[in-house]
Amino acid sequence: MVTAATRIAAVGALTAYGAGVPVMVEGMRAGHCPVRAATDIGYPETDPPRVSGYPACAWPPGEAGAATQLLTVIDQLLACWNGQADALRGEDTALIVGGGGFLYASGAELYSRSRQAHAPHAPFQVRGPAWGSDLIAAHLQMRGTVLTLSTGCSSSANALLVATEMLQRGHARRALVVGAEGLSAVTLSGFASLMLLDPEGCRPFDRHRAGLQIGEGIAALMLEALEAHAEGQRGARICGGANLCDTHHLTSASPDGRVMHEVMLQAMSRAGARPVDIVAVKAHGTGSVDSDRAEGSALRSVFGDALPPVVGLKRFLGHTLGACGAVETTALIGCLQHGFVPPTAGFSVLDPEISVAPNRTQLPASEGFYLLNFFGFGGNYTSLVMAFS
């Protein structure tokens, strides 16, 4: 069993709060939940849902805007990383991108073209999951391992898990992990047709929860192998994690949360932590009826009456789908570095069927292990254990 930690050396983000981790942290500290109507993406209905979308900015239209957003976050991360950009060109640097695919870039391009008076001469191309990986690798002139993971809402969490294991096993010296998701009329229409969008926004674990609040976001994290002599180094470190598949149903979780229970226990075991060592849980907390019930049951079965503070972030950030692993990990790191654990926005009424009341007040950041859950639509579940000091 490999339990050595990997250091998170730098982070960058673009969220509904705007560009940068500081603006996101300050927004969450203030309790601000930025939402807006999903306009300007070609949503076909007259009453578009409310989403956590990027604030107005002069991005280029169409696919070029999606590319600019992605590379802006990469450059933002490099600006606060202490390493040398030339080091990224070595074969000992890996790039791992997780997301639901970059069809949203194609959707943005198609919508942009539909609004132009004259059709452009360039052929229209549908972008696949590797488009973003190729774009970043070319931008940084990378020659090492490049991977793209697409496992639903656990995609970038799995990218963090794979990167951690690569570094722990000596297959890379550093890894750039990126999660990216943009608003898409197709995605929103799909969730709307399944009646899975809550018009009042995400209400994690709340008795009156009614579905998701979709968001868009990009986050990048630089992971580095933690040398033996640097074990006492302060900051955020990923100590281990686990991934399992729930085969109960194509779209819904096992009601008793048994697979979620098991993935949390495996993640803690691989990280060398026990349930009693966990100082807080970053829940997946989508606000959907079935998923929250299963996760609540799993948390109770793992921790019993000693449940640590539970935090849900999706009312702040929206559910950024395949990007949520990277986005929410980055958000939590940013808050911890600024001395606090964020509250759970959107929760107000305890559901007696779940009996999990997420933390509603800002808490001081504590040193120790944090358990992070990312449970994907379709049953792909990932839990990570992060240490902070």
Q: What is the mean pLDDT of each run of 10 residues along the chain (389 residues)?
A: 76 98 98 95 93 94 97 97 95 97 95 87 90 98 97 97 96 97 96 94 97 98 78 82 84 80 98 98 96 96 97 98 98 98 98 95 97 90 97
Rounded alpha-carbon distances, angstroms, from residue 83 to 86, 171, 172, 328 = 9, 19, 15, 24
Dihedral, 159, 164, 165, 166 alpha carbons, nearest 10: 80
| Domain chopping of the chain, boundaries | 6-388
Check residue 256 and give its pLDDT: 83
Euclidean distance between the first and final Cα of the chain, in Å?
A: 23
Angle at 159 between CA 158 and CA 162, to 5 degrees: 80
Q: Which of left, alpha, beta for 206 (phi over 0: left; psi -120 to 50: alpha)?
A: beta
Give pLDDT, residue 226: 81
Cβ burial, residue 105 (10 Å; 0-12/13-18/19+): buried
Give the pTM: 0.96
**pLDDT reported for residue 228:** 47
User: How does strand 368-375 pair with strand 278-282?
Assistant: parallel
CA 364 to chain CA centroid, nearest Å: 23
For residues 266 and 298, what is the distance between their CA atoms, to the nearest angstrom? 13
CA distance 149 to 162: 10
Position 229 scores a pLDDT of: 43
Q: How far apart are CA 75 and CA 19, in angstroms?
A: 11
CATH number given to 6-388: 3.40.47.10
